[in-house]
A and B are shown apart, each in its own frame.
Chain A
Amino acid sequence: MSMTVYHGEPNGPSLTVLAALFETGLDAALVHIDLAKGQRHDLVFAQQPEVAMSVEGEGPVLVVDGEGMTDSVFIACYLDDVGKGGSLRPADPYARWEMMTWCRQLIERTAPAAAYLGLSARPPVGDAAVLAKIGSADLRARWRDAAAGLSSEDRLADSKTKIAQAVNKVEAQLDGREWLMGEFSIADLESYAWLAGMVGLVDSAFADRPRTAEWMHRVRLRPSVAKALSLARKPAPAACWAPGPEINRWG
């Protein structure tokens, strides 16, 4: 079995997957691509449905025996399954439900908001050549709008609210805990990965949140996360975004 991770700057889903890989101690080839230039769509497996139609948008891809795997939380679950430790998820079914529910709400509510805010601060390259490569029509539309700097005031405001709600949840969850689920887990990686870049963009959400600040510091100090961050090619990876999951269009 040979594994390759195609990843962007260590932020958002790329950070989750890289750190999860390093946590498990598995061997994989690492290939850096610029997600914000649409380079994922140049890869040979880009048109596989599970890559082209990933709900996560422009995230990393883990390729195992030619199959492209996307969606950072599930890639992390896979790495945890094949890794030796089994240490990235709680073993108890209820605690595991808590972790999966936490991640689900995060990817559904927080991640789209973070990507929206991140992209409006630093729009991606969305020229005709990039757009033409993107198979999913709705991802293409998000690219087009983000590249053209078309962000709506309503959505920006709602996204800031979503970030503040997420930080409140993290702050409450960390009461008496070092990590979100008690033990360190994928929930810490995924939450940190989407929230780290919001510190400068939604300052007010992080004001007077001491437990969150300490937790973010602890996450950064994990050898796996530090190693992932050391792979950055740009000076501020947390400011690097590519079109992410869409904001809920219904319900």
Chain B
Amino acid sequence: MNDVTLYHWEPNANSGKPMLALMEKGVAFDSHYLDLLNFDQHRPEYLAINPQGTIPAMRHANRVLTESTAIMEYVNEAFTGPPLMPENPRDRWRVRWWMKFMDQWLAPSFSMIGWNVFVGPAVRSKDPDELKAAIERIPLPERRTAWRKAIYGLFREEELKESQRRVAVGIRMLEAALGEREWLASDRYSLADVNGFNLAYALPLSQPKLSNDELTPNILRWLRAIYARPTTKACWAMGRTAMVKRVAILEQQYIGKVPAS
């Protein structure tokens, strides 16, 4: 048994952030997979660990930590291994700025689209009473609303349109930042890249009209460079769903523009 246990879903979004950070630091951990689509995160056994029912959570020694980005900073500070924050204080600020921008502005828009096309349809076929009971068990009211919308397809058109607008703006910002620097927030690989990869690893598949080698060469260079790291490969190999296997798109050497239809 390891000193660290990570409660996580797929190497994707919030779950993938501490998974990849731990692996980059070379920290061995017990993996406790929670099937988000089976509502494992709202069952009593997990609520005993994280009463808010959010994924991921990490146990280190006898302490439980939540909030994926804060967990990553903890992992970086609490363990030896390659530093995942830059030395320069202004670079550190930029790492945190980009992580917050992604966590609170960009990722929710990606997530809304993802829940509408992937999570909602994936659970919709379950027994209606079972789904209703599953929603009732969710501790946070915001998450209850989110699941209700995903399960019953209640996203309004203008909400989805706003998410798509933000995704387009975010892609332009990422491309510009990666045109200035090798990595997202500084000239070295950092938590901002770990965070960003979890958000954007399937970008050329999910947003082919906005992200490809012609339109966003720097994003593609960056994604391929992160995917080339052995830790990233090992991390994504822990995935079980077709969703995360989309990462294989990055094995293509050139992803051209989508022909106009």
Contacts and interface: CB of A to CB of B under 8 A. Distances in A.
Contact of A77 (B78, B96, B159): B96
B83 interface: no
Interface stretch (A64-72, A179-187, A221-229): A64-72
B67 A101 contact: yes
Given A49-B177, A53-B105, A104-B70, A78 B89 contact: yes
A39 B145 CA distance: 37
Contact of A53 (B77, B94, B101, B109): B101
Contact of B67 (A50, A71, A104, A251): A104
A67 B74 contact: no
B165 interface: yes
Nearest to B174: A49
Contacts of B65: 94, 97, 101
A250 B154 CA distance: 12
Contact of B93 (A74, A94, A107, A248): A74
B92 A81 contact: yes
A26 to B, nearest CB: 11
B211 interface: no
B255 interface: no
A186 to B, nearest CB: 12
Interface string A235-251: 00000000001001111
B93 A78 contact: yes
Interface residues of A, number: 33
B89 A82 contact: yes
A71 B100 contact: yes
A100 B73 contact: yes
Contact of B77 (A64, A75, A77, A96): A96
Interface in A72-124: 74-75, 77-78, 81-82, 93-94, 96-97, 100-101, 104-105, 107-108
A53 B173 contact: yes
A75 B166 CA distance: 25
B46 to A, nearest CB: 18
Contact of B90 (A69, A96, A100): A69
B78 A94 contact: yes
Interface in A115-149: 137-138
Nearest to A83: B89
Interface of B: 60, 63, 65-67, 69-71, 73-74, 77-78, 89-90, 92-94, 96-97, 100-101, 104-105, 108-109, 111-112, 142-143, 145-146, 159, 162-163, 165-166, 169, 173, 176-177
Given A97-B74, A251-B108, 14 more contacts: A53-B169, A55-B105, A69-B93, A71-B100, A78-B89, A78-B93, A82-B89, A94-B65, A96-B74, A97-B65, A97-B73, A101-B66, A105-B67, A250-B109
5 contacts: A49-B173, A67-B90, A97-B65, A100-B67, A249-B159
